[in-house]
Structure 1
Amino acid sequence: MSNNIVSDDPIMESDHREEVSDQRKNLFAEIGGPESVSLDVESAKVLGRHGRVSQALGWSATLHLAFQSFGVIYGDIGTSPLYVYASTFADGIKHGDDILGILSLIFYTITLIPLTKYVFIVLKANDNGEGGTFALYSLICRYARVGLIPSQQAEDADVSNYQLDLPSNRLKRASTLKSMLENSYSAKIFLLITTLLGTSMVIGDGVLTPCISVLSAVGGIKEAKSSLSEGTIVWTSIAILVCLFMVQRFGTDKVGYTFAPIICIWFAFIGGIGVYNFFKFDPTVVKAVNPKYIIDYFKRNKMDAWVSLGGVVLSITGAEAMFADVGHFTVRSVQISMCTVTYPALILAYFGQASFLTKHEDLVSDTFYKSIPSGIYWPMFVIAVAASIIASQAMISGTFSIIQQSLALGCFPRVKVVHTSAKYQGQVYIPEVNFLLMLACVAVTAGFRTTQKIGNAYGIAVVFVMTLTSSLLVLIMIMIWKTNILFVIAYVVVVGSVELLYLSSVLYKFDQGGYLPLAFSAFIVAVMYIWNNVYRRKYNYELEHKVSNQKFKEITTSMDFSRIPGLAMFYSELVHGIPPIFKHYLENVPALHSVLVFVSIKSLPISKVPSKERFLFRRVEPRELYIFCCAARYGYTDMHNEGDGFEKSLLERLKEFIREDALLNIGDHDRNKANNIPPENGGEIQDVQMVEKACEAGVVHLVGENEVIAGKGGGIGNKILINYAYNFIKRNLRQTDEVFEIPRKRLLKVGMTYEL
């Protein structure tokens, strides 16, 4: 078998590829070949569990990112003091010590979940700098074969690998769990649905956070203007929300620098006011650090205490944003900003409000604004409104990030992703999603009108995401980190039990607004699953009906087709082999360009693929046809819409491949002798010149547009899924050429119908 034949047998093909890859590496190692064969192995970064650029950036850049993070990440959790006590004591304070019980709950909840869980554990589970539910899923997919699309190639290990561990009980436990996941289709589906649900809940947070934050801040104006109606406050909030979404197109970088000073001032204000109230009213509330007050609180209030946890959990809203938005920054910068400013300011604010409430129990419904010293009310009101606007930024940015990840892994319909910063990777803006989020925020604010109802819905979304994150994190601890089992058990018992307790509490208010995030998430999950399900089935169809190597030879020898000048790029999603649409094309257009490259856009379950490892080429026999297969590999944070840059990079890498391939075929004397060309460089020069000549004649982009319909024996459910649901989504979204910015003047679409 020639080194360049595309095998019909996927197993033989994989083994052969690995052999050729090893040969190529060994050959270049011996002759000191091009630097491009020195592959960037990601395993050290993953095993070290540090962010993508945490180690690379100096302290100056890290501190700049830490400052930026205030304007993007902490607005949500930072503005929680606006409404936590009011939501927790919805029916008023029944016993003086209840204040200490709730303060103790708030103190330990913030310390356990945002600080301990997220800052010191979850952030280390980033996928090479990227965070969010899909980052956890991608880590698991990369370590265990739980992905549902069979597009793996042996060479993928070159850009994403894990080092081998010495035998141990932890390794045995990890291997057992890995085997269970890989051998169970139900487990793979469950893992995917869990990830989709977590993603949809983050998107739900992106809707509810702006609503509750802005509405609660604007509502404070009633302290000075009691004559203002509820309608005026609601419509003022809606106007602010619309403006907020309009500035998203400027990007996280500019938004972060604009908002960061305001949030820093906000933290200084709430921390300072907290200290003032603490010493002025009741410094003895410091005894709430004793968890005994939590026990006493539950003994006194029983069922009511459990229900009130739905208000306490609002003190940690936005904690997930630290993880979802870490791709906009670095792990180190987020840890610095949280530990040095955010956490101390929040603790001081809650202790100060508790001190105020011990002397003013009747003012609990307006705790925040009532506890502000009268001389600074208006400055504080202005900062509160500004901070509430910024609070929305955290989950909006997180929503963009997590949709970008799910999009790249084939779990979200095609939308345009705009990279807004050339300086920092991971900062993105998605126009369609931004518009839909704005409409949803306006609808929720206009429909619910009060922070109490929105708070009931908000709590469910927040705790659901946290619980799902913990579930995936436990898998990573056991299977990838190989953490000591005692620590895993401790995490499950302490963090897991607390989160489940909060989840049970917020679900109690399902009929009081709690149904909203669940209904919203069900809709998002349905859309994502429909898209992913048909995407997988379409890929498997192409895999089953691909043009085999033998069939391709028969087609090229039996058909009377002509060769036309130029180079054609034929796009498809199939990684292994030649897509069936090519045969359909050749039957209708019996002509081939002088050089043909089959390009498949492939997503790897990693955050970024090094540019020198972007393209993976194979040559299709017979060689004189000049036909190549190319897998363009992307991580889920890589920019796809590179325009002419993509074409230029691919063609340059094709020439490099031809040169490398020539070194592996030095012994092919027959062809060289026939052309009177020296064996050392003959084939290389001829083939490179052929590609260059084809490029000069013109490059054409052929895009396969596959229409999918339900097969005749599929049943009514299959018809609804494919003919109506999937095709409706597809018709209303961007096409392949729009996503990759293929030049219109050089674009030709080839259509074919698949029956699934």
Structure 2
Amino acid sequence: MEGVACCTAGQRTELNAVCCMYVCMYVCMYVKTVQVVWISVAILFMLFSVQRFGTDKVGYSFAPIILVWFVLIAGIGAYNLAAHDATVLRALNPMYIVDYFRRNGKQAWLSLGGVVLCTTGTEAMFADLGHFNIKAIQLSFSFIIFPSVALCYMGQASYLHKFPHDVADTFYKSIPAAMFWPTFIVAILAAIIASQAMLSGAFAILSKALSLGCFPRVQVVHTSKKYAGQVYIPEVNFLIGAASIVVTLAFQTTTNIGNAYGICVVMVFSITTHLMTLVMLLVWKKNVAFIAAFYVVFGATEMLYLTSILSKFAEGGYLPFCFSLVLMALMATWHYVHVCRYWYELDRIVPAAKLAALLGRPDVRRVPGVGLLYSELVQGVPPVFPRLVDKMPSVHAVFVFMSIKNLPIPRVAAAERFIFRRVGPAEHRMFRCVARYGYTDQIEAAEEFSASLLDGLKLFVHEEAAFSCSQHTDDNDGDGALRAAQAAAAEEEKRYIDAELERGVVYLTGEADVVAAPGSSLMKRIVVNYVYTFLRKNLSESHKALAIPKDQLLKVGITYEI
């Protein structure tokens, strides 16, 4: 019994020692994980903080680092090939892929989810097509990215052939000792650069969604005067930064984040293939057989990878779907209410007779200066104008109903920026103006914008008089006198506009509360009264997005029941 008792005590002592060892090991692993997580959070915070300096400046500062990174991984790969086993180059033969699937079956298919991570990051360059031209991407892919990445992975395969037990940390184990720390530092910087590329792409895509009315009006800062597409959106930068930090703190390890990233990338590939097929069919009008071949080859390949990576859906792969659903729901909500509001205003435009009666009221005065009333309408007088006159019975001496429209083209020439027409008789000095911008054009600051607009208005007055004069083609004295009188009237009106400009410009915006009409469905009340209102109140107000100074701004409150 004593022997058994001693043996049992010894086993317990050994068990306690083993338990302590595992506890210590897990504690150390947890501490290291926590340290890495908080270091990552600090890096993310710095990355999103420097975006305000401009994506072009950030890109210039990172460009030499990414070049060093590609040279390093290519050199390490070539070293491993030469030092360990150069025969892995035979893997370039595609027959080995067939043999791999024959041997491993289902496991080979599941492994494609990990293989696809080898190609991630390249899609960021395609998201940045607004920043780089096609030739630059073709050259960088063909002569820098593909050779470097191929040498890197072949070098790791060569290393693993000799040291198969290092499979969990192949890249860093395969680095020569003298190059470890330089490579480690450059690797961290390269990871930051990859994040920068995705940020630039997100800014560019959302700025285009804004131009199509699918996203709340936010301030889009074009950070480069030389290169189109270099934009910075403060609100979006904050939201993406906060989401990135939350995901990092929640997931903590790269395994689940990698699964989410892999699904996201393959979905992007698949969506791009489907949209490209539509473009080839409807826009380019290519041969149907060619389109079918393209769709079958690329679609089948991407579907194979997608079905493999979807097996990791529950292990972090759900993340991009959740983000996409939330973003799509917000964009759909904004677009829906935006369109309903536009039709509401269009159905309630002020008739010409009512406008004349409004201005003819004895209590309505014409005050000095220029008034610019912003509206989505490109025709007619918006319903907010009578509200303005009722609350403050005065109208500026020169009054312009202003609409800003984004066109689906890169740029609009400055000479074609503004389109004017008169509202009512000439003595009212009221005008309608539509300012047109391409998706790479930047809306000017308030002073520059008003100066350009009124220069365009004076040009319109001059051309209107010239056109009127050209209608009288006879050379008799009566027509000549009429032309002279019209030209003199035009010059007088231009001087009048200059004089009122000197007295100041006031910007007026309609602060519309949009609510669901009585009797609306529950879904519509939720979408309009809560979701849309939340977006409107928590993102940039229109005057901030249009860079209107507060001391020149007048808001007019109105409620629309849609």
Common fold by TM > 0.5:
yes
Q: For the structure 1 residues 565 and 233, does the alpha-carbon distance in structure 2 shift closer, same or farther, using more than 3 Å as the test? A: closer
- Within the candidate set 232, 237, 249, 1:434 is matched to 237
> Quick check: 2:269–2:302 contact (8 Å CA) kept in 1?
yes
Structure 2: how far apart are the matches of 1:627 and 1:443? 52
Query: What SS does the aligned partner of 1:437 have?
Result: helix
How far does the alpha carbon of each residue in 1:263-311 deviate from its partner, in whole angstroms, 9 at most, with x for none? 1111111111111212322222222222222222222222222211111
Matched, 1:406 2:209: yes
The one-letter code of the counterpart of 1:653 is G
Structure 2: how far apart are the matches of 1:228 and 1:707? 51
- Within the candidate set 188, 193, 214, 1:390 is matched to 193
Which residue number corresponds to residue 529 of structure 1?
A: 332
> Quick check: 1:640–1:739 contact (8 Å CA) kept in 2?
no
Q: Which has the higher contact order (CA 8 A, sep 6+)?
A: 1
> Quick check: 2:507–2:552 contact (8 Å CA) kept in 1?
yes
Which residue number corresponds to residue 13 of structure 2?
A: none
Which residue number corresponds to residue 682 of structure 1?
A: 488
How far does the alpha carbon of each residue in 1:440-470 deviate from its partner, in whole angstroms, 9 at most, with x for none? 2222122112211111111111111222222
TM-score of the superposed pair, with normalisation by structure 1 = 0.67
- Within the candidate set 533, 546, 557, 1:751 is matched to 557
Matched, 1:496 2:299: yes
How far does the alpha carbon of each residue in 1:222-254 deviate from its partner, in whole angstroms, 9 at most, with x for none? 9xx999722222222222222222222222222
Which residue number corresponds to residue 121 of structure 1?
A: none
- Within the candidate set 559, 567, 571, 2:370 is matched to 567
Which residue number corresponds to residue 53 of structure 1?
A: none
Per-residue deviation at 1:679?
A: 4.9
Matched, 1:467 2:261: no
Per-residue deviation at 1:435?
A: 2.1
Structure 1: how far apart are the matches of 2:227 and 2:509? 32
> Quick check: 2:218–2:542 contact (8 Å CA) kept in 1?
no
Structure 1: how far apart are the matches of 2:293 and 2:82? 37
Over aligned residue pairs, what C-alpha RMSD do you find? Answer: 2.4
Structure 2: how far apart are the matches of 1:657 and 1:504? 60
Query: What SS does the aligned partner of 1:706 have?
Result: strand
| Aligned pairs for 1:64-79 within 5 A | none
Per-residue deviation at 1:668?
A: 7.0
Q: For the structure 1 residues 241 and 495, does the alpha-carbon distance in structure 2 shift closer, same or farther, using more than 3 Å as the test? A: same
Query: What SS does the aligned partner of 1:631 have?
Result: strand
Q: For the structure 1 residues 409 and 582, does the alpha-carbon distance in structure 2 shift closer, same or farther, using more than 3 Å as the test? A: same
The one-letter code of the counterpart of 2:232 is Y
- Within the candidate set 183, 205, 229, 1:380 is matched to 183
Per-residue deviation at 1:632?
A: 1.0
Per-residue deviation at 1:514?
A: 0.7
The one-letter code of the counterpart of 1:548 is P
Query: What SS does the aligned partner of 1:712 have?
Result: coil
Matched, 1:732 2:538: yes
- Within the candidate set 76, 92, 98, 1:273 is matched to 76
Q: For the structure 1 residues 315 and 576, does the alpha-carbon distance in structure 2 shift closer, same or farther, using more than 3 Å as the test? A: farther
> Quick check: 2:364–2:393 contact (8 Å CA) kept in 1?
yes
Per-residue deviation at 1:397?
A: 1.4
Q: For the structure 1 residues 716 and 666, does the alpha-carbon distance in structure 2 shift closer, same or farther, using more than 3 Å as the test? A: same
How far does the alpha carbon of each residue in 1:44-77 deviate from its partner, in whole angstroms, 9 at most, with x for none? xxxxxxxxxxxxxxxxxxxxxxxxxxxxxxxxxx
The one-letter code of the counterpart of 2:553 is L
The one-letter code of the counterpart of 2:279 is I
Q: For the structure 1 residues 339 and 526, does the alpha-carbon distance in structure 2 shift closer, same or farther, using more than 3 Å as the test? A: same
Which residue number corresponds to residue 3 of structure 2?
A: none
- Within the candidate set 502, 512, 518, 1:712 is matched to 518
The one-letter code of the counterpart of 2:407 is L
> Quick check: 2:110–2:309 contact (8 Å CA) kept in 1?
yes
Q: For the structure 1 residues 483 and 586, does the alpha-carbon distance in structure 2 shift closer, same or farther, using more than 3 Å as the test? A: same
Please tell me whether Structure 1 or Structure 2 has the larger radius of gyration of its CA atoms.
Answer: 2
Structure 2: how far apart are the matches of 1:235 and 1:589? 56
Q: For the structure 1 residues 616 and 676, does the alpha-carbon distance in structure 2 shift closer, same or farther, using more than 3 Å as the test? A: closer
Mind listing any 5+ residue stretches in structure 2 that lack a counterpart?
A: 1-24, 473-477
| Aligned pairs for 1:310-321 within 5 A | 310-321=113-124
- Within the candidate set 389, 405, 408, 1:602 is matched to 405
How far does the alpha carbon of each residue in 1:147-171 deviate from its partner, in whole angstroms, 9 at most, with x for none? xxxxxxxxxxxxxxxxxxxxxxxxx
How far does the alpha carbon of each residue in 1:397-455 deviate from its partner, in whole angstroms, 9 at most, with x for none? 11111122112222122322222223323212222222222222222122112211111
Query: What SS does the aligned partner of 1:651 have?
Result: helix
Structure 2: how far apart are the matches of 1:743 and 1:380? 49
Matched, 1:692 2:498: yes
Structure 1: how far apart are the matches of 2:391 and 2:252? 60
Identity %: 49
Query: What SS does the aligned partner of 2:54 have?
Result: helix
Count of matched residue pairs: 531
The one-letter code of the counterpart of 1:414 is R
Which residue number corresponds to residue 448 of structure 1?
A: 251
Q: For the structure 1 residues 643 and 699, does the alpha-carbon distance in structure 2 shift closer, same or farther, using more than 3 Å as the test? A: closer
Structure 2: how far apart are the matches of 1:749 and 1:226? 58
Structure 1: how far apart are the matches of 2:29 and 2:181? 15
> Quick check: 2:206–2:215 contact (8 Å CA) kept in 1?
yes
Q: For the structure 1 residues 476 and 426, does the alpha-carbon distance in structure 2 shift closer, same or farther, using more than 3 Å as the test? A: same
Per-residue deviation at 1:673?
A: 8.4
| Aligned pairs for 1:607-618 within 5 A | 607-618=410-421
The one-letter code of the counterpart of 1:593 is H
Per-residue deviation at 1:487?
A: 2.4
Structure 1: how far apart are the matches of 2:322 and 2:362? 56
The one-letter code of the counterpart of 1:684 is A
The one-letter code of the counterpart of 2:97 is I
> Quick check: 2:418–2:433 contact (8 Å CA) kept in 1?
yes
The one-letter code of the counterpart of 2:522 is I
The one-letter code of the counterpart of 1:722 is V
Q: For the structure 1 residues 753 and 382, does the alpha-carbon distance in structure 2 shift closer, same or farther, using more than 3 Å as the test? A: same
Structure 1: how far apart are the matches of 2:55 and 2:202? 12
TM-score of the superposed pair, with normalisation by structure 2 = 0.89
Structure 1: how far apart are the matches of 2:133 and 2:154? 30
Structure 2: how far apart are the matches of 1:323 and 1:257? 18
| Aligned pairs for 1:176-325 within 5 A | 229-325=32-128
Structure 2: how far apart are the matches of 1:744 and 1:711? 32
Structure 2: how far apart are the matches of 1:320 and 1:613? 36
The one-letter code of the counterpart of 1:503 is L
The one-letter code of the counterpart of 1:700 is V
- Within the candidate set 393, 402, 420, 1:590 is matched to 393
Mind listing any 5+ residue stretches in structure 1 that lack a counterpart?
A: 1-221
Structure 2: how far apart are the matches of 1:498 and 1:573? 45
